[in-house]
A and B are shown apart, each in its own frame.
Chain A
Amino acid sequence: MNNSGSLVCVGTGMMLGAHISPRSRSHIEQADVVFAVVSDPIVELWLQEMHKDVRSLQPFYSEGKSRHDTYREMVEAMMTEVRAGKRVCGAFYGHPGVFARAPHAVIEQARTEGFPAHMEPGISAEDCLYADLGIDPGRFGCQHYEASQFMFYRRHIDASAYLVLWQIGLAGDRSFRRYATDPAYLELLVGLLAENYPLDHEVTLYEAATLPISTPRMQKLALKDLPSAELYLQSTLVLPPCRPMLRDQTMLARIEELERVLNSTSTATHHQQ
C-alpha cells in the first residue's frame, strides 16, 4: 500500500461562486486529482477551470443501471487514485454528507485501508431551502425523508412540524434504475400523505438556484395537484404543518414537580450553609 494517498470530500455549495468555502476551494486547487458530481453543467465547467485534472463522475450514471452500482463505481474510481498515492478531492454539490451516499462510503473505505480521509461541509439545498422559503426548522420542527424511502417504510409523521421530501421526482422507484417518476406513483404518495394532511393543504415544490442568473423554484400548489406537477431530479416537496403543536401536559407536570424538588433541595442546602 502506498501510504501517501489521501482523500477529502468537499461541498461546492449550490450556487456557482456564491457558496464554496475558501477551505473547500483550496482542497480542490491543491489536490492531485479532483472527482466531481455537481448539479449544473456550468458548475462542472467552473470546477474544471479550478484544476487541470477534474474528472466528472457523471458517466457512472446511466438509465437502466442500478444507482447502487453507480455509487460503488464512484467509490472505486476515487479509491484507485488514493491507493496510487494521490491526494484526491471529491467535490460534490451542496454538502457532501447530506443525502449523499458515495462521499460517506469512500471516506469509510479510505479510512478502513489506512488512508487519511475527511469531509469539509458545504451549503446544502436544505440550507438554501430555509433561506428561500423563510423556514426556521427550530420553530415547529422539521422532518426530512428521501421520498421513496418515505413510501417504503412506515413513519410516524408529526403534522405539527414541517415535512420535507427529497428526490420527489423519483418517488416510488424501487428499481434504483429510473430517472423519473410516474403520476401514478405520486397518486400513491398523495394518498399516503392524506392520512395526515388535507388534500387541499398548500405545499411547495422547491429547487435551489445553481447559477447567480437563476432564481429558485418555489411553486405553491395543493397537495392533491402533486401528480400533475412538473417534477425534476432536483425537485423537493415541502409540507408546512397542518395542525398546531400540542402541549404535553403530562411531561410539563413532571418538569414542574422536578423543579419543585430541585428548588426545595437548593433551599435546604442554602439554609445549612
Chain B
Amino acid sequence: MSTVIQFLESMGKNAALGDMTQEQYIAAVKALGVDDVAKHALLNRDPATLGNSLGGRTKMMMMLVPAEDDDQGEGKDKEKDNDDDQKKEEISIN
C-alpha cells in the first residue's frame, strides 16, 4: 500500500491520529518521507492535488439513483395510458 494511502487509512481508522493537533499533523506528514507534491497537498489538506499526485481520476461521478425508472415519466405514462386504452378497446371489441 502506498505510504500516502496507508497514512490516510491510519487516520481514518485510528481516533488518536484523526484527532491530531495541527502541529502533530505537520510532524506526521513530514515524517512520511513522501515527495514534495504529495507532502504539500497533505499539509494543505488539498484532496484534488493529492489525488493527482497519486494518479487518481480527475473527475468522479457518484450519482447512483435516477429520479424515476426508465418506464416512468410523463411521456411513458401517456404511452402506457394509450396502451391501456387500446387494450380496453380490444377487450370491448372481443
Contacts and interface: CB of A to CB of B under 8 A. Distances in A.
Contact of B63 (A46, A149, A233): A233
B22 to A, nearest CB: 12
B1 A17 contact: no
A49 B2 contact: yes
Nearest to A15: B12
Contacts of A45: 2, 5, 51, 54-56
Contacts of B47: 40, 42, 210-211, 213-214
Contacts of A102: 64
Contact of B62 (A37, A174, A214): A37
Interface stretch (A93-101, A110-118, A196-204): A93-101
A101 B64 contact: yes
Contacts, number: 122
A4 interface: no
Given A100-B65, A167-B65, A214-B47, A42 B54 contact: yes
Interface in B46-81: 47, 50-51, 54-58, 60-68, 70, 73
A101 B61 CA distance: 14
A71 B11 CA distance: 33
B9 A58 contact: no
A211 B68 CA distance: 31
Nearest to B25: A213
B26 interface: no
Interface string B17-53: 1100000000000000000000000100101001100
- Find the residue from A15, A17, A38, A92 having the highest chain B CB count within 10 A: A17
A192 interface: no
A173 interface: yes
A40 B64 CA distance: 14
Majority secondary structure of chain B interface residues (helix, strand, loop or mixed):
loop
Main secondary structure of the interface of A (DSSP, over half): loop
A42 B50 contact: yes
Contacts of B9: 16-17, 46
Given A17-B11, A45-B54, A40 B61 contact: no
> Which are the 7 A-B pairs with shortest beta-carbon distances?
A17-B12, A41-B56, A148-B67, A18-B12, A17-B9, A212-B11, A61-B61
Interface of A: 15-19, 37-42, 44-46, 49, 56, 58, 61, 66-68, 71, 92-93, 99-103, 146-149, 152, 166-167, 170, 173-174, 176, 179, 210-214, 233-234
Interface of B: 1-2, 5, 8-13, 17-18, 42, 45, 47, 50-51, 54-58, 60-68, 70, 73
22 contacts: A15-B12, A17-B9, A17-B13, A18-B13, A39-B62, A40-B51, A41-B58, A42-B56, A46-B5, A49-B2, A66-B70, A68-B70, A92-B64, A101-B65, A146-B65, A146-B67, A152-B68, A166-B65, A212-B17, A213-B11, A214-B45, A214-B47
